[in-house]
Amino acid sequence: YLALQKALELGATSLDMRLDSQVVVRQMNGEYNITHDELRSIHNRVKELMTKFEKVTFSHVPREQNTLADGVVNNLLDEATAQRRGILDD
């Protein structure tokens, strides 16, 4: 949902969200049900934010065709994990 929040801040009116998670794409497109409560709350927040745009689409991009973005996300997740560990270790 952070991408949608940022897009709103930047004044976007439509989005084409391209994700490497086929499951998430299918969940957002209503093809799969969401069974975990934690994910359901995120899904609901995304759906709420979607109403602020004229159009939002979700499409799947295989990870092997998206290596740059995948690497950036993995690095950010590693950094966040390291920071949390540092905070928890204190």
First and final C-alpha spacing in the chain: 30
- In the predicted model, is pLDDT for residue 90 greater than 70? no
**pLDDT tens, position by position, 51-81:** 999 999 999 998 788 778 778 878 888 888 8
pLDDT value for 89: 55
Tell whether the torsion through CA atoms of 46, 51, 52 and 58 is positive or negative: positive
Q: How far is Cα 73 from Cα 67, in angstroms, rounded to an integer?
A: 10
| Per-residue pLDDT tens digits for 4-49 | 999 999 999 999 999 988 999 999 999 999 988 888 999 999 999 9
Binned at pLDDT 50, 70 and 90, residue 1 comes out as confident
pTM: 0.70
